[in-house]
């Protein structure tokens, strides 16, 4: 299985266009908004989330570009972890695709229909397939999901649809034995997550914030805390749990917010993550599992 990290930043990307915080003005390497491409054979490809930067990400990734026919594209499937705008706006950019299958939590599919009408808009272009996240097989790859959070996107806070609203995905290649776990949004370390990640070659973990208070400090807004308000466990909470874990799993943080000091490769926070045995891969990183 081939895996390409198309984007590794949280919503707004890095640097964020309307932010002059310390990290955004540090000159650190830019990151586009979080999305991942994976493939069983290197010919047909599937997405984990569809960020607003998806057009630029596709054009920057030769394996995803159109062809060989004038309207052919190698993209077949999109797996959404949730209904947040930074994970779904890319669907509108993909609206010209004649055929795509979208998997998402049932609550997210509801939000994309009744609160942010992405599905009705796209249906005016093509008749895609929309399916709730369940155990499935795509090009021989076995895909399972795990509910991890009930955090609703802002535009759907009035929704009474039962959760879960957020899931993680496990993608297993039975031919090679390779396994990827993708969990960019964790409000807690949920029950069952250890077993879900057990034996994976690579786990892409929520790295939105380094500290729980950093967003409050950067924005001067005491109401915005990493875990409770924003729905993300900070790295300082999860990193100690990764140290000295048995096995050969590579733990990598993705979905880094623009306020996260670990985006600076020369900073002490970046060094602390790497020193603990985890990774902070940049956009374009590839894995073969």
Percent of the chain topping pLDDT 90:
87
**Helices (runs of H) and strands (runs of E) counted in the chain:** 8, 13
Quickly state the pLDDT bin for 172 (edges 50, 70, 90). Answer: very high
Residue 129 in this model has a pLDDT that exceeds 50: yes
To the nearest whole number, what is the mean pLDDT of the chain? 93
Determine the pLDDT at residue 246.
Answer: 74
Q: Which residues are CB-contacts of 270 (< 8 A; sequence separation ≥ 6)?
A: 261, 262, 263, 264, 280
CATH number, domain of 11, equals 3.60.15.10
3-state secondary structure of 181: strand
Q: At what angle do helices 106-114 and 85-93 cross, to 10 degrees?
A: 60
Instruction: Give the pLDDT confidence of 269-281 residue by residue, as tens digits.
Output: 999 999 999 999 9
Query: Do the strands 141-149 and 179-183 form a parallel or antiparallel pair, or are they unpaired?
Result: unpaired
Residue 31 in this model has a pLDDT that exceeds 50: yes
CB 77 within 8 A of CB 48: no
In angstroms, the CA 283 to CA 123 distance is 31
Instruction: Report the number of distinct structural domains present in the chain.
Output: 1
- Best CA proximity match to 252, nearest among 208, 186, 202, 181: 202
Residue 13 in this model has a pLDDT that exceeds 70: yes
pTM: 0.94
Residue 71 in this model has a pLDDT that exceeds 70: yes
Residue 287 in this model has a pLDDT that exceeds 60: yes
3-state secondary structure of 33: strand
Average of pLDDT values for 79-102?
A: 96
Percent of the chain topping pLDDT 70:
94
Instruction: Give the pLDDT confidence of 188-224 residue by residue, as tens digits.
Output: 999 999 999 999 999 999 999 999 878 666 555 544 4
Lowest mean pLDDT segment, chosen from 11-25, 44-58, 67-81, 242-256: 242-256
Quickly state the pLDDT bin for 225 (edges 50, 70, 90). Answer: very low
Residue 286 Cα distances to 39, 73, 256, angstroms:
11, 20, 18
Q: Which helix (H) or strand (E) holds 202?
A: strand 202-206
Phi, psi of 69 (to 5 degrees): -75, 160
Determine the pLDDT at residue 227.
Answer: 47
Instruction: Give the pLDDT confidence of 130-161 residue by residue, as tens digits.
Output: 999 999 999 999 999 999 999 999 999 999 99
Range of the domain at 214: 2-288
Residue 75 in this model has a pLDDT that exceeds 90: yes
Torsion of CA 116, 119, 122, 128, to 10 degrees: 160
Determine the pLDDT at residue 220.
Answer: 55
Determine the pLDDT at residue 1.
Answer: 98
For the record, the structure tokens of 253 come out as 């943080």
Average of pLDDT values for 21-29?
A: 94
Residue 226 in this model has a pLDDT that exceeds 80: no
- Residue 93: how many CB atoms within 10 A of its CB? 17
Residue 39 in this model has a pLDDT that exceeds 70: yes
């Amino acid at each position: 299985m081939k895996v390409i990290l198309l984007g590794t930043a949280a919503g707004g990307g890095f640097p964020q266009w309307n932010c002059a915080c310390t990290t955004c003005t540090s000159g650190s390497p830019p990151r586009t908004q979080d999305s991942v491409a994976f493939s069983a054979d290197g010919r047909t490809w599937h997405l984990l989330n569809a960020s607003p930067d998806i057009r630029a990400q596709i054009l920057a990734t030769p394996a995803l570009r159109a062809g060989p026919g004038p309207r052919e594209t190698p993209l077949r499937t999109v797996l959404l972890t949730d209904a947040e705008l930074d994970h779904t706006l890319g669907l509108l950019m993909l609206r010209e695709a004649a055929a795509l299958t979208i998997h998402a939590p049932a609550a997210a599919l509801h939000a994309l229909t009744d609160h942010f009408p992405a599905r009705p808009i796209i249906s005016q272009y093509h008749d895609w397939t929309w399916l709730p996240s369940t155990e499935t097989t795509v090009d021989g790859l076995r895909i399972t999901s795990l509910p991890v959070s009930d955090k609703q996107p802002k535009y759907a806070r009035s929704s009474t649809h039962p959760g879960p609203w957020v899931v993680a995905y496990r993608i297993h290649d039975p031919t090679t034995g390779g396994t990827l776990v993708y969990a960019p949004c964790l409000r807690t370390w949920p029950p069952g997550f250890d077993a879900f990640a057990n034996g994976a070659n690579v786990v892409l973990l929520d790295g939105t914030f380094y500290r729980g208070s950093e967003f409050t400090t950067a924005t001067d807004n005491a109401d915005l805390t990493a875990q409770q308000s924003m729905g993300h466990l900070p790295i300082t909470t999860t990193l100690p749990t990764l140290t000295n874990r048995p096995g050969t799993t590579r733990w990598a943080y993705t979905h880094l917010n623009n306020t996260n000091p670990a985006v600076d490769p020369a900073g002490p926070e970046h060094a602390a993550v790497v020193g603990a045995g985890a990774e902070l891969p940049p956009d374009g990183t590839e894995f073969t599992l």
